[in-house]
């Protein structure tokens, strides 16, 4: 089965930063969605939680996170949309995290599962990488996606690209 990716939207943060990145009016014509993010926020940490929300809400989200941090590995569950991390103010200057969300069957009438792969970038020992599985317990089609840091704001040059995926049979 071949897959075709089509860029739906790109968001680049300008000077002054923003509290969130919002993709609105997502077309319902694709099989799946992919979001690729390169981000950094202003919170006073090496890295910080990155939140995802759907259709204007951040409720009914859960996830399981597997992570590696400075030689330590672990896993834990969350009852929120905090399933990825981004670089923050205390990480190496001008470095950005990389995050990819994959959301299959986003337009369907079942609960929405998604997967996440994220890594922070830093020229020190304070780095973290993770893979996560998430679930939005809602029967609504996803028409909006919101990304925001847990604290602080996204800095200039943070980018997010939204792609629609079509499965070719």
Count of structural domains, the chain: 1
* Reported confidence tier of residue 1, pLDDT bands at 50, 70, 90: low
CATH code: domain of residue 135: 2.60.120
pLDDT in tens, 99-128: 999 999 999 999 999 999 999 988 877 788
pLDDT in tens, 14-49: 999 999 999 999 999 999 999 999 999 999 998 899
pLDDT in tens, 134-168: 999 999 999 999 999 999 999 999 999 999 999 87
pLDDT at 3: 83
Interior/surface letters 129-154, b for 16+ CB within 10 angstroms, e for the rest: bbbbebebebeeebbebbbbbbebbb
Q: 77 is in which domain, residue-wise?
A: 2-168
């Amino acid at each position: 089965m071949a897959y075709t990716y089509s860029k739906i939207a790109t968001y680049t943060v300008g000077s002054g930063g923003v509290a969130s990145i919002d993709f609105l009016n997502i077309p319902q014509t694709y099989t799946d969605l992919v979001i690729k993010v390169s981000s950094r926020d202003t919170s006073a940490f090496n890295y910080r939680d990155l939140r995802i929300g759907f259709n204007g809400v951040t409720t009914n989200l859960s996830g399981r996170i597997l992570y590696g941090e400075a030689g330590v590995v672990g896993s834990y569950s969350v009852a929120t949309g905090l399933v990825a991390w981004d670089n923050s103010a205390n990480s190496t200057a001008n470095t950005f995290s990389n995050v990819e969300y994959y959301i299959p069957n986003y337009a369907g009438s079942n609960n929405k599962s998604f997967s996440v792969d994220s890594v922070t970038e830093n020229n020190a020992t304070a780095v973290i990488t993770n893979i996560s599985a998430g679930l939005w317990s809602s029967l609504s089609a996803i028409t909006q996606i919101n990304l925001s840091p847990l604290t602080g704001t996204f800095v200039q040059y943070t980018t997010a690209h939204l792609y629609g995926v079509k499965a070719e049979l």
